[in-house]
Every structure is written in structure tokens, then in C-alpha cells.
């Protein structure tokens, strides 16, 4: 068996130790004589798995007690709609920061539900830097401010949390799409009203979406929203209004245990992630052949797009990379070139091997 280095943007690499543990437990979960996949979600065994996963996630992110953690389906894309449904029951206009393709999709859903105000946009700098706090111009009736912590396609990341006072007084709920950066390092959950993330990057397999929501926001839903959309109803039902994605939830739990026990927590994870990303950016910046356009302050630790000086060499780069076990380096079709996603489960050795390959490719073909 050979496992290659996988730089996919998502579904992405999982820690090998997690896959091995899942393999060990696949047919017979801890002597129960059945697989986790085959268990009732209401069985004591699964409820224990679910509760342990939630507690481990709370420990990793130091989630305060007045936040609820939901384990849902529908992906981050479903949250693009669930956020406005859940937060606009008392009126007001949802405010958004536009920083790239994912922010734009979130904005489109809010517009579909009645309108959105773009409080700042990175379009003027061609999505190469995030808006600075002074650029953010909220509408007078702002109900919340939504932003995308890390634009997975552009490789553009916020270097700060855009906390804002509400124009009506008090704090403004900050809503963050953290799909491609959650668990890459410590955060202060109390900065946020809602955090959401599709699992298939740093959390686990596809099919699971994690939402962390402040209790004060649970009663603000629109009366016309579908029952399964309601954060309040989901929180009351322990994310089990209907059958949750049990196996993905279990695997996410194994990833949380790996982060706590093998890695040593999120500060340790961030140190490794920073080292991995710094090396790759240094290799790109040190070459005339590879380029990354993002402002240094906003360069993503997780997704690093780069282009080759000669587009005509893209396919050879990808073919040769694959031949030496470096998979999924093709950039998103809207950006072109390459993208290396360096999520938590991508080992440092993978980055070293990629850099060696890039140096060699440039020497031979550049």
C-alpha cells in the first residue's frame, strides 16, 4: 500500500493515524459487534461518541459555555442560507465583506432572501488583500457582519477579526465562514456570533458541517424558515432532529482526539502550519518562475495558489508531480495555475517534497 501526498482543497487529506484507527474499529466498534455506520444515532454507544466529539471540539477551541455546537448536514453552502434565515427574524440588513468566490456565494443567498449590504469589498485590489477595518462601511440597520476567514480558492486570509460596534449600539454579531481555516490554530470564539465550517478540510470527511452559535442568537429566526434550518430547534434536539451524519461525526471525533493527543492542541498545530506555509511561500518568492499574488499580510496558511511563468507548462507540472506522488495540485479553474492546500493533516514532509519537486522542475523546465 502506498499513500501519496494529497494537496487537495477538499475533501482533503485526513491524518493517517485517524484512518488507521477507523480501520481497526470498522467492523467491530469496541467489542459491540457492529460498525459505527450501522448503529442507531440514539444508541448509548453513538450518543457517547457524539458527546465526546463535542467535548473535544469545545476543549480544542475553548468554546465558552454560552455557545452551542451543532453537527449538521448540507455543507457550508447550506449555512449561506441558514445564517440569514436564523438571524433576520427581527429585521435589519445583513452586511457582508466580499473577499472572493466563497464570500460571493454567501452574499448571493442573503440577496435571494431579501437583500444584503456589501460593507467592503476586495474587488478593487483584484482579491489580493482583505479590507482594512477603516474600509468597512456598515448599513445603519446592520443585523450582522459576515466574512470568510479564508478564501479557499484565492488563498486570501483575514489577519484580524472584523469586530464592529453595531450602528444601533451594542455589539454586532460577527458571522464567520471558517470552512478552510477552522482548527488551523487557536481562535477566540467569544469574538463571534456564529462560526460555521464544512468538515471536509480540517475537521473530517465530507457530509458534516459544524456550527458554533451564541445562545443569544437562537431566538432570532424568521418564522417562515424550514424546521430543519432552525438553530434553536437543532440545538434543543442535540443536532438530532433527524438522522445526523453519524459516521462523519465519529471520524471528526477521531480527528479532534488526534489534534488534542498526538499534535498537542491548536497552538502546536499553528506552529507547524506556519512553518509549512512559510517554507512554501519562501520557495515561491525566491524563484522567478513561480508567483503568488496575495499581499503578504493576507496570505493563507492553508491554501497556497501559485502560477508558473509559462502557462504552457501547467500540464507537465501536474503530470510530473503526480508521477512522484504529489496529488491534486491543480488550481481552481477560475484562477488557473496551481494550488497547494496544506491543511492540518498534510505532513511537513509533504511540503518539503513538494518544494524539492518545484525546484527541480524549474531547473529542468524553467
Residues that bind ligand PMP (CB under 6 A): 10, 75-77, 102, 148, 152, 177, 179-180, 198
**Is 2 annotated among the ligand-binding residues?**
no
Between residues 179 and 328, which has the closer beta carbon with respect to ligand PMP? 179
200 is an annotated ligand-binding site residue: yes
249 is catalytic: no
CB 197 to ligand PMP: min, Å: 8
**Cα–Cα dist 86/89, whole Å:** 7
Check the annotation: does 77 bind a ligand. Answer: yes
CB of 82 to ligand PMP, least distance (A): 11
- Helices 16-25, 246-257: inter-axial angle, 10-degree rounding: 130
Would you say 39 or 301 has its CB closer to ligand PMP? 301
User: Least distance to ligand PMP from the beta carbon of 208, Å?
Assistant: 9
Element (H, E) at 174: strand 174-177
Contact 68, 236 (CB under 8 A): no
Pairing status of strand 174-177 against strand 142-148: parallel
Whichever of 39 and 210 has its CB closer to ligand PMP, that residue is 210
Residues in the chain: 366
Looking at 141, 159, 188, 201, which residue is catalytic? 201
**Half-sphere exposure (CA, 13 Å, Cβ side) for 297?**
7
Burial string for 149-174 (b: 16+ CB within 10 Å, else e) reads bbbbbbbbbbeeebebebeeeeebbb
Question: For residue 200, which of 5, 11, 328 has the smallest C-alpha distance?
Answer: 11
Q: Is 177 annotated as a binding-site member?
A: yes
Q: Is 76 annotated as a binding residue?
A: yes
Instruction: Let me know: does 82 contact 229? Beta carbons within 8 Å.
Output: yes
Q: What minimum distance in Å lies between the beta carbon of 9 and ligand PMP? A: 6
Catalytic residue among 56, 177, 276, 330: 177
Nearer residue to ligand PMP within complex by CB, 180 or 358? 180
Catalytic site residue 201? yes
Active-site residue list: 102, 177, 201
Residues of each annotated binding site? 42, 76-77, 102, 152, 177, 200, 242-243
Residues of each annotated binding site for L-glutamate? 42
Amino acid at each position: 500500500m502506498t499513500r501519496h501526498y494529497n494537496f487537495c482543497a477538499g475533501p482533503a487529506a485526513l491524518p493517517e493515524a485517524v484512518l488507521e484507527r477507523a480501520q481497526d474499529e470498522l467492523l467491530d466498534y469496541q467489542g459491540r459487534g457492529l460498525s459505527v455506520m450501522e448503529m442507531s444515532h440514539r444508541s448509548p454507544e453513538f450518543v457517547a461518541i457524539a458527546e465526546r466529539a463535542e467535548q473535544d471540539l469545545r476543549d480544542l477551541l475553548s468554546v465558552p459555555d454560552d455557545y452551542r455546537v451543532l453537527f449538521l448536514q448540507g455543507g457550508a453552502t447550506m449555512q449561506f442560507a441558514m445564517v440569514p434565515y436564523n438571524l433576520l427574524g427581527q429585521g435589519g440588513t445583513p452586511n457582508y465583506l466580499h473577499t472572493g468566490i466563497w464570500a460571493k456565494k454567501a452574499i448571493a443567498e442573503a440577496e435571494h432572501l431579501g437583500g444584503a449590504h456589501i460593507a467592503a469589498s476586495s474587488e478593487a485590489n483584484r482579491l489580493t488583500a482583505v479590507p482594512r477595518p477603516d474600509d468597512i462601511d456598515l448599513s445603519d440597520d446592520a443585523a450582522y457582519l459576515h466574512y470568510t476567514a479564508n478564501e479557499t480558492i484565492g488563498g486570501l486570509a483575514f489577519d484580524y477579526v472584523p469586530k464592529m460596534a453595531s450602528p444601533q449600539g451594542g455589539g454586532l454579531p460577527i458571522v464567520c465562514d471558517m470552512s478552510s481555516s477552522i482548527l488551523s490554530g487557536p481562535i477566540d470564539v467569544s469574538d463571534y456570533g456564529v462560526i460555521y465550517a464544512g468538515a471536509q478540510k480540517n475537521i473530517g470527511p465530507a457530509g458534516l458541517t459544524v456550527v458554533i452559535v451564541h445562545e443569544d442568537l437562537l431566538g432570532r429566526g424568521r418564522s417562515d424558515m424550514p424546521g430543519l434550518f432552525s438553530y434553536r430547534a437543532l440545538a434543543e434536539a442535540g443536532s438530532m432532529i433527524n438522522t445526523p451524519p453519524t459516521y462523519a461525526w465519529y471520524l471528526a471525533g477521531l480527528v479532534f482526539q488526534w489534534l488534542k493527543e498526538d499534535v498537542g492542541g491548536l497552538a502546536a498545530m499553528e506552529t507547524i502550519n506556519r512553518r509549512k506555509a512559510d517554507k512554501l511561500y519562501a520557495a515561491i518568492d525566491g524563484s522567478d518562475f513561480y508567483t503568488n499574488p496575495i499581499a503578504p499580510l493576507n496570505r493563507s496558511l492553508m491554501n497556497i495558489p501559485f502560477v508558473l511563468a509559462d502557462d504552457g507548462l501547467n500540464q507537465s507540472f501536474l503530470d510530473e508531480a503526480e508521477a512522484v506522488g504529489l496529488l491534486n495540485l491543480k488550481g481552481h479553474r477560475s484562477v488557473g495555475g496551481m494550488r497547494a492546500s496544506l491543511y492540518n493533516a498534510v505532513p511537513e514532509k509533504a511540503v518539503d517534497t513538494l518544494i524539492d519537486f518545484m525546484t527541480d522542475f524549474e531547473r529542468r523546465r524553467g
